[in-house]
Amino acid sequence: MHVEAWDKQENIREAENLLYEVKKLLTGLKHNVNPGITMVNNNAKIAYDLHQVIRHRLAWDENPEGDFWNVFFDTPMQVSDQPLAEINKE
């Protein structure tokens, strides 16, 4: 299904402005400030931690030599109050 509205740059700009207004209403932060992962509830932080662990494992599984320039190979940074999950290749 093709939606013509996404082809119109002015619609995209208007949608972005509306999203910024919603963010400002929900967070109290200004237009160009990103609240970041540290300002969300703990369940969202846990989901972020899980995403980091899975992304890290998949990166090493796909490229065992690693990649110095790719952050996916860095040790996941814990942001929740729960220990990082452990994942192993089987």
Cα dihedral across residues 9, 13, 14, 18: positive or negative: positive
Residues 6+ apart with CB under 8 A from 53: 76, 84, 85, 86, 87
Tens-place pLDDT, residues 10-45: 777 888 888 878 877 777 766 666 667 777 888 888
How large is the average pLDDT for residues 37-61? 87
Report helix, strand or coil for 44: helix
Cβ atoms within 10 A of the Cβ of 44, count? 13
User: With a threshold of 0.75, does the pTM exceed it?
Assistant: no
